[in-house]
Amino acid sequence: MTILFSILLFLAVLIGFFLFLALIIKKEYSIERDITINKPKEEVFDYIKIMRNQEMYNVWVMKDPNVKLVYTGTDGTEGFTCAWEGNKQAGKGEQEFKKIEDGNSLNIELRFEKPFESTSQTYLFTKAVGANQTNLKWQMIGKNKFPMNLMNIIIDGLLGKDLAKSLENVKQILERN
């Protein structure tokens, strides 16, 4: 009986520790990655502002080859949306162009329904670093409610590698042409 009690006590202390940790960890997160692409800024921006192109470079869209995508509106304009529903990795949700500063930046709102509900903002920024070189920065900002904010400890590593891989995909696609 003491072994069972010890195990239960250990589990209770462990759960208590994680709940305490969730109380003190910030709820907001910010992740960003960037890459330099050997193409002019206008060419890079014109490619990323077409949301349908994400099927070719965004690792989250590519996680489920059978993902169902529903596009609404005029691609490359404010208000354009892409709803998706896929396997456990892809989840379910939609993204919408909230603001487009032509040639410079995109603000996309991500609204997840599954595997859990959340809303975050993603930003893509283009900056010329030479006549035929562009820095493309991808930033994601969001908030996780208690106790999900525990994920903020590892979220940069988890989502950051996906942002970096997506940026590398953009680079390969654009530099191939």
For the domain that residue 43 is a member of, what is the CATH number? 3.30.530.20
In a domain, 127, yes or no: yes
**Dmax of the chain from CA atoms?**
74
What pLDDT does 65 receive?
Answer: 86
pLDDT in tens, 82-119: 999 988 888 899 999 999 999 999 999 999 998 878 89
> How far apart are alpha carbons 75 and 37 in whole angstroms?
23
Q: Determine the structural domain holding residue 117 and report its residue range.
A: 28-176
Q: Which residues of 69-93 are buried (b: 16+ CB within 10 A; e: fewer)?
A: beeeeeebeeebbbbbbbeeebbeb
List residues bridging with 92 in a β-sheet: 85, 114
What is the mean pLDDT of the segment spanning 139-151? 79
What is the mean pLDDT of the segment spanning 143-148? 77
In a domain, 65, yes or no: yes
In a domain, 78, yes or no: yes
Tokens representing 38 are: 């050997």
pLDDT in tens, 13-66: 777 766 666 666 687 888 999 999 999 999 999 999 999 999 999 998 888 888
Task: Say what the pTM is.
Answer: 0.83
In a domain, 4, yes or no: no
What pLDDT does 3 receive?
Answer: 85
In a domain, 10, yes or no: no
What are the residues whose beta carbons fall under 8 Å from the beta carbon of 27, sequence distance 6 or more?
143, 144, 145, 146, 149, 152
Q: How many domains does the chain have?
A: 1
What are the residues whose beta carbons fall under 8 Å from the beta carbon of 103, sequence distance 6 or more?
41, 42, 45, 126
In a domain, 148, yes or no: yes
In a domain, 47, yes or no: yes
Q: Is 139 helix (H, G, I), strand (E, B) or coil?
A: strand
In a domain, 147, yes or no: yes
